[in-house]
Chain A
């Protein structure tokens, strides 16, 4: 009788059988497309009369010379650099405000969180109206104070920042939730000790609360950066990447190339860049964030 051998054998088979369906589906829609995408980026666009041919790095050469690509990439970095710190900062403020025992706390929490459960498309529709010249909310407020009418989304200098403001509004409540969870886990004795020592609340926040929230901040930051490369729904409604590509983001440019210009081969090349960016964030997370989280 060899029970241990048999058990191990069954463990092997059962384990594999259990994970197989999910692993197969994930490979089909994540791993396979990453590889086949890389493959397609090395070919020319096939047409009805001409089959696709191997062109090596030709698409990448085109990419390096493509001014729109560089503009879109720059937009995406501005978009990330603005939305991530602001939405996280606001999220932290929200969580600190709500973590106290204030009047109407659950109502305030609800209003902070509401944008999270709304579809981006609905949000884009509402904000599109806010930014409408003359009739929109912003122009009415400015008009009240004697300001001129602005074409908020029509001006290449302001359009991207208008979208950034909207995205910060949409995302802050979502990140707030993670801070709330972390704050609830901080021990109340710590706070008491701080009060007994007579440290002011700002000092206490800076020296105790904020450092203890660091793992949450890193976790939320990674999530926020990934989101800023993934969330482009609003562009379809509000600007279509315009004016003059001033608001276009990488994923939207991919979508445009693939489904408006039908240049799937160039879209594949752009996708390789996006996958590389996301892979870099992943590596950063494993190298830095995971390490930080474990020491706690």
Chain B
């Protein structure tokens, strides 16, 4: 009796989870449906609607999407490389060295978790303009390269590494940099993967700051390109806009589906203090 009740409860829960999951997936499924079918089918669902890649071909010919894609790719790579270097050094300093003013400086660094560079976009635009870097890819990345979030995560991870390991390395005659490279970095591998995935998704999707700082095809990332392309003023067909939308989100989405566990665990990891 009791067992059957539990069984029914479980069935209801499973159905509920499936329905909620379907509801959550619906907008994405719709985007793909509309992108791969002729325009007249984007408002009427029919199982036998012909498939086409025409929308993609046309979106591709209307706007320089390959260039946008390349820009985003360069941007994300540049930011990630700079973040790994800057955050690793700083996290090592905060985790294992005692120096004057350390706690105050660390607290000041953490301020960036709350007040992100895009909040200060007016002044940061001024700074980038004074540096003569307007409308360049490095300008989009520069404010994010030293990331408080990355420093915080790596510092946490470095702090869990046992002192004995470090002492053993010292006995072996490794320098401070050698210890960082040979002991700390390899042992924090999972944190690097987690932080890397979070950072790549953030900057692949980032929009407002790139929008204000770029003004030409040479530096615009995908998100900004898509926003200009999809603006109602542009008068482009709806199904072509969805094709462009799918193109913008596809690389990250494919990566997510392939490495689903890794993604979810990375975001999980990044939230635990």
Contacts and interface: CB of A to CB of B under 8 A. Distances in A.
Interface of A: 8, 11-19, 21-34, 36-37, 40, 93-94, 97-98, 100, 102-123, 125-127, 129-130, 135, 137, 140, 169, 172-174, 177-178, 180-181, 201, 219, 226, 229-230, 232-233, 236-237, 251, 254-255, 258-259, 264, 267-268, 271, 274-275, 278-279, 281-282, 285, 293
A30 B18 CA distance: 44
Contacts of A285: 114
B123 A268 contact: yes
B271 A117 contact: no
B199 to A, nearest CB: 13
Contacts of B14: 102-104
Interface string B196-226: 0000010011011001100000000011001
Name the prevailing secondary structure of the A interface residues.
helix
Interface residues of B, number: 90
B249 A14 contact: no
A255 B121 contact: yes
Given A21-B89, A107-B21, A125-B245, A116 B267 contact: yes
A159 B252 CA distance: 30
A30 B27 contact: no
Contacts of A267: 122
Most B-side CB within 10 Å, residue of A40, A93, A121, A232: A121
Contacts, number: 270
Contact of B117 (A16, A30, A40): A30
B94 A19 contact: yes
Contacts of B121: 254-255, 258
A5 to B, nearest CB: 13
B124 interface: yes
Interface in B214-261: 222-223, 226-227, 230-231, 238, 241-242, 245, 248-249, 252-253, 256-257, 260-261
A116 B24 CA distance: 11
A-B pairs, 10 with minimum CB distance:
A18-B93, A15-B97, A15-B99, A25-B146, A33-B123, A22-B90, A119-B205, A29-B143, A108-B21, A111-B25
A180 B25 CA distance: 19
Interface in B114-140: 114-127
Contacts of B241: 125
